[in-house]
Chain A
Amino acid sequence: MTEFFSAVLEHSFLRLAVLMTLLAGVACGIVGTYVVTRRITYIAGAVAHCVLGGMGVERYFQAIYGWEHTHPIIGATVAALIAAIIIGLVTLKAKQREDTVISAVWAIGMAVGVLFIAKTPGYQTDLQSYLFGNILLVSPAEITMVALLDAIVLTLVLLFYKQFQAVCFDEEFARLRGIHVEMYYLLLLAMTALAVVLLVYVVGIVMVIALLTLPAAIAAMFARKLWHTMTGAAILATLFSLGGLAISYEPDLPAGATTIVLAGVTYITVAILTSLSTRRHQPG
């Protein structure tokens, strides 16, 4: 661990990685809280896997047609937003078999990505880092993009906190109060898409759902208010990814996987401890 901290001072790529954990933590805390309370984890999972499609397409055109000025994060964002809107419209309009549609979007997004990456020269390392994350390869351009996505999410939540809260808590009542429930739901899915893109850089596509939901689930056990949950989840998400980075550095473990194991073990421990303590407080 001490080696990690001296390395942070020494290497700029590690400083970028630390900055990334902070920026991703903000979006993760806010959006993760909505995903957990509105119970749309599965949708977040599908959106995450569609990111591979966007990155694959972008990377392919970059390599084959020399799109120099683009970046996979743009493809990732576009793909995530498209997936979120498709799933959103399907869940709003067709009340049946939405899980089938979500799974289909999940797999198709992934498949498109695999196809394009297979035809892109030098795909091996790309595929690995997209799927499992490689926070150590984060570039300054990516940090700028991530900060921008963070700013969008923060602005939306600061403006419409009360509407999002009402839509997540009691959709029918919100509708009766004249809230455009469908619009806020789609906006919520769009924010989920943006947060997922950020988290792909930290832990990779496969493990995004865990980092999005576990910190919020832990924070929700103790919080009395939605924004308390968000703050707690943001701090926890940052601590987990920072911890994962620090722990993995010396033994040269994959940082993303270390982060998720850290978050998972914490969640299970807290869940067991709280259930034990409530049982003690409830006689019989």
Chain B
Amino acid sequence: MTDTHSVPNIELRDVSFAFSGPNVLDAVDLTIGQRDLVCIIGPNGGGKTTLLRLILGLLIPNTGSIKVLGSTPKKSRHRIGYMPQHTRLDPQFPVTVRDVVLMGRLGLAPSAGPFRSIDHDAADAALKRLELLDRRDDSFAALSGGQRQRVLIARALACEPKILLLDEPTANLDLPIQRDLYDLLREFAREFTVVLVSHDVGFVSDFVRSVVCVNRTVRVHETNQLTGDVMSDVYGRDVRMVHHDHDHHHDQDQGRDQIGHRHD
């Protein structure tokens, strides 16, 4: 851990957002530093996805300002490697694994004509890091859910990102494979900023520097402060959400549901 974390990569100042009705996110202040490894957690409907979409510039905040890599989200988003949940995609689509990863090279390759050989090399290098190089000519449809998710991580890597943004990267993975993936993400965080959304708060706090709890408002917890009774709260059977002064403690029930996933 060097002091590069003090260089902000993502900065939200007093950001509020509503679709039409009550605020989904309210007065959010959040700073994520360079080469930080951060996990966003929170109940479903708490605003995790909205927060991601704001950072990507796919949504515009009603109030407040967002800076990504020193500029607007829209201007900086080509430097973000984004991994959506694979369940959003059509599993029948006729593409190979390598075709999918090559999509990460869009915006880097010339717009007319096919991908260049350096794009193919970059795609292969990304696949290699995810240990999927031998599957590159396979149909994307033939892979398991977990493998597809890893292909989408490779695609995000092929973007040559400054920030890697992962939406539920561990959703379809067995525990040992999850552990491997977190090790890999820690390795990535030496090269660029890594932000992931996860349900598995207990497990993830072993690996990340800080946890961002999103439930309309945002609270940040350094994981090295997650000690003592907070840790037992997080890991115990009778789990509660990480202790903090959210102004709505009734969400503890939802928090229990969230963390309950890791006992499945």
Contacts and interface: CB of A to CB of B under 8 A. Distances in A.
Interface residues on chain A, size class? 20 to 34
Given A161-B114, A173-B103, 11 more contacts: A162-B115, A168-B93, A169-B89, A173-B84, A175-B58, A176-B77, A177-B103, A177-B104, A178-B107, A220-B94, A225-B96
B103 A176 contact: no
B56 A169 contact: no
Interface of A: 33, 37, 39, 158-163, 165-166, 168-170, 172-179, 220, 223-226, 228-229
Given A159-B113, A162-B114, A163-B111, A169 B100 contact: yes
A46 to B, nearest CB: 22
Nearest to A37: B93
A221 B153 CA distance: 26
Nearest to B92: A220
B107 A177 contact: yes
Contacts of A175: 58
Q: Which of B94, B106, B107 has the most CB of A within 10 A?
A: B94
A140 B99 CA distance: 40
B82 interface: yes
Nearest to B139: A224
B125 interface: no
Given A162-B102, A165-B99, A172 B93 contact: no
Interface in B79-117: 80, 82, 84, 88-90, 92-96, 99-100, 102-104, 106-107, 109, 111-115
Contacts of B95: 165, 169, 224-226
A218 B92 CA distance: 12
Q: Interface SS of chain A: helix, strand, loop or mixed?
A: helix
Contacts, number: 81
B103 A169 contact: yes
Contacts of B159: 177
Contacts of A225: 94-96, 99
Contacts of B103: 162, 165-166, 169-170, 173-174, 177
B38 to A, nearest CB: 19
Contacts of B77: 176, 178
Interface of B: 56, 58, 77-78, 80, 82, 84, 88-90, 92-96, 99-100, 102-104, 106-107, 109, 111-115, 137-139, 155, 159
A153 to B, nearest CB: 16
Contacts of A37: 90, 93-94
A170 B106 contact: no
A176 B114 contact: no
A176 B93 contact: no
A31 to B, nearest CB: 15
A160 B93 contact: no
A187 to B, nearest CB: 13
Contact of A178 (B106, B112, B114): B106
A282 to B, nearest CB: 13
A162 B94 contact: no
Q: Which of B88, B93, B112 has the most CB of A within 10 A?
A: B93
19 contacts: A39-B90, A166-B103, A169-B89, A169-B100, A169-B103, A172-B58, A173-B155, A175-B58, A176-B80, A176-B82, A177-B78, A177-B104, A177-B107, A177-B159, A178-B78, A178-B106, A224-B137, A226-B95, A229-B94
B94 A177 contact: no
A30 to B, nearest CB: 13
A37 B95 CA distance: 11
Contact of B90 (A166, A169, A173): A169
